[in-house]
Amino acid sequence: MIQKSVQKNVVISIRNLNKKFGNHQVLEGFNLDLYEDESLVIMGKSGTGKSVMLKCLIGLERFDQGSISVMGRNMEKLSSEDLSYIRSEVGFLFQGSALYDSMTVRENLEFPLRRHKIKFGHIKNTTPLIQEALESVGLQHTLDLMPDELSGGMKRRVALARTLILRPKIILYDEPTTGLDPITSKEIVFLIKSVQQKFQTSSIIITHDVDSARHLADRMILLINGKNYAEGTFDELDHSDDPRIMAFFKS
């Protein structure tokens, strides 16, 4: 499962990231490098700022200090065109799928195409793109269903299809398996893996789930107290004798 990571281009680079919510210092000098085609898993307890970090990456959250560079662009001084470009190149799979309740699956998938047309030019017929995206998550038949009518796992898949429809180079997964039963979780994990291979994407995956991490991680970062506490492959960390690291893997 573990691939030796060959030194490649850095696509995301975070340096000394600080973020405070009120009096609560969530991130304190966090560093990260994501290489091309790499699958990076970040583990940490709840409320340690993992999601916040992801949102900072995509410009949904402001950070207090530090620097973030995504695909060579500095997130601090970003024109709206650049932000739009980054958002079309960096997909984001939200924690609870975040499908639009009031829209059908088709409309959900069409939604990113409405404004990110730059990437595809002006396309009249979105159906082939939608079909293709749905096929890659195995849900072609759900086109006209409402999100309500889908199970949790299906929602996750549709959400992934919605992310994929823009053909991003990087996908950020915010706890892709939370709230799912173990079997569905496993399905999603394998789906992520297949997507990574099929679309040649780099990924940052946030998770609590050791199993998911084992399957997905080329490299791992343990986030404790707002810093990267430990970094390494899954095996390296799994065999660590640091009690704080062991606490993650022996649960």
Partner 1 sequence: MNYDKRSLLSGIKAFIAETGDMAYFAGRFFREVFKRPFEFKEFLRQCYNIGNRSFLLVGITGFIIGLVFTLQSRPKMVELGADAWIPSMIALAIIREIGPLFTALISAGRIGSAIGAELGSMRVTEQIDAMEVSGTNPFKYLVVTRILASTLMIPVLVILSNFLALYGSFLVEYLKGEVSFRFYFDEVFRAVKYTDLIPSTIKTFFFGFAIGLVGCYNGYYCKHGTAGVGIAANTAVVKTSLMLFIIDFVVALITDILFLS
Site for partner 1, rule CB under 8 A: 55, 58, 60, 84, 87-88, 92, 94-102, 111-112, 114-116, 162
- Nearest approach, Cβ of residue 149 and partner 1 (Å): 17
Question: Which amino acid, 180?
Answer: L
Q: Give min distance, CB of 84 to partner 1, in A.
A: 6
Which pair of structure tokens corresponds to residue 173?
Answer: 């997964």
Please state the closest distance from residue 244 (CB atom) to partner 1, in A: 28
Q: Which is nearer to partner 1, 81 or 241 (CB)?
A: 81
- If the CB atoms of residues 161 and 230 are measured against partner 1, the closer one turns out to be 161
Q: Which is nearer to partner 1, 97 or 212 (CB)?
A: 97
CB of 169 to partner 1, least distance (A): 15
Q: Which residues contact 152 (CB under 8 A, 6 or more apart)?
A: 97, 179, 180, 184
- Find out whether 90 and 69 touch, Cβ atoms under 8 Å: no
DSSP 159-207: HHHHHHTT--SEEEEESTTTTS-HHHHHHHHHHHHHHHHHHT-EEEEEE
Q: Which of 93/189 has CB closer to partner 1?
A: 93
